[in-house]
Structure 1
Amino acid sequence: MKDWALKLDDALWAYKWLLKLRLAIKKLNFDLQIVGKHKLLQLNEMEEFQNQAYENSKIYKECTVKWHDNRIVPRAFLPGKLKSRWFGPFVIKDVTPYGAVELHGKDGTKFKENLENLENFENELILVRKNAETD
């Protein structure tokens, strides 16, 4: 009898909560099939929204490329008109801390270039550092 009396309280408690749960399900009209269909519908709507956003971004990119391409001015280059600044050996007159180099050619041309673009070709590129005493 003792074991039955201990289990009776647990059984009554479980029965009480089962009744409350059934009432709650009926009250909320909680049908698992309907809820499952509703979730599936929401997922489909979200996927459709994602596809529309992808298409809109694709259209925007195409329009941006068209706009940019329309603003490009066509240029005609005649042979002999283009001259390279990279002819002959150069002397480095000044190097800045950030890698900019001032180059001087033998014909008096001066320009600045990035140090990464320079190559030492058969010792024709000479490094000359300016001293504060000589200036």
Structure 2
Amino acid sequence: MTALTDERLAVRGFVELLRQEQSLLTENSIDPLLILAEKKSADALRLNELSESRRRLLEKYVGVLSSAAIQAWLEGHNHECLLIWQEICTLTEQARQLNNVNGELIQMKLRHNQQSLTALTRAVSQANLYGPDGQTNFSAGTGRSLGSV
């Protein structure tokens, strides 16, 4: 039961972290996102460890470790753990949905940034204000450079 309780607590924390990430993404707060990304990676590793511990523990009793099989086994053996397991499943689904939305927000921002860079690059290449030697390059239209009479 301790393993499930620890996992539930970790998944709750991860869901909250994903909510914070979503908030920062919508606010365009980049610096806090970098710090949050480190914590997210560490928390994801911890969740994997807890999940693996649960898997090793339950495979002795359940056999096939599907969510439905775990639920069925817990229904017959430990009602309190069943409630914790159901909450873990609900929280995990919330985390999956939040992570998908956050991924889409990140993709939108990346596309926007790429489009902005492309527009700036085109503008610079079309303006062609300076030549490779760093000198102004305005002679195309008049045949004279700036400052000449």
What's the TM-score, normalizing by structure 1?
Answer: 0.35
Structure with the higher strand share, 1 or 2: 1
What's the TM-score, normalizing by structure 2?
Answer: 0.32
User: Relative CO higher for 1 or 2, CA cutoff 8 Å, sep ≥ 6?
Assistant: 2
Structure with higher Rg: it is 1
Structure with the higher helix share, 1 or 2: 2
